[in-house]
Amino acid sequence: MEHEGAVIGCGGYSSDGELVLGTIRLDLRRQGLGRFLLLARLREVAKLPAVSYARLCAPAEFAGFYAKQGFKPAGAEGQMQLRLNVCP
């Protein structure tokens, strides 16, 4: 993610629907940019053939953010694996 020629955030996804943990520059957090970046990636994941959900593994400190976006815990306790159904 760029703004006025500067990188302000990044994140990605794999062809099987796994999100690469995204991040926003520290001084620009809490302005909705993380959510914008996440939604942009989810929109692309929803276009992938045979992918019905997005998933990610996140540090526990980000659990609240992802829960607010609709992600649900999945996998072993303590691993902070999250899952969200996507529709094309």
What is this structure's pTM?
A: 0.82
Supply the range of the domain harboring residue 14. 2-85
Q: Which residue has the higher pLDDT, 46 or 76?
A: 46
Q: What's the domain count of the chain?
A: 1
Per-residue H/E/C for 8-48: CEEEEECCCCEEEEEEECHHHCCCCHHHHHHHHHHHHHHCC
pLDDT bucket at 9, cuts 50 / 70 / 90:
very high
Predicted confidence (pLDDT) per residue in 77-88, tens digit: 544 566 777 765
Residue 75 has a pLDDT of 66
34: CATH: 3.40.630.30
Predicted confidence (pLDDT) per residue in 39-72, tens digit: 999 989 989 988 888 888 877 788 888 888 888 8
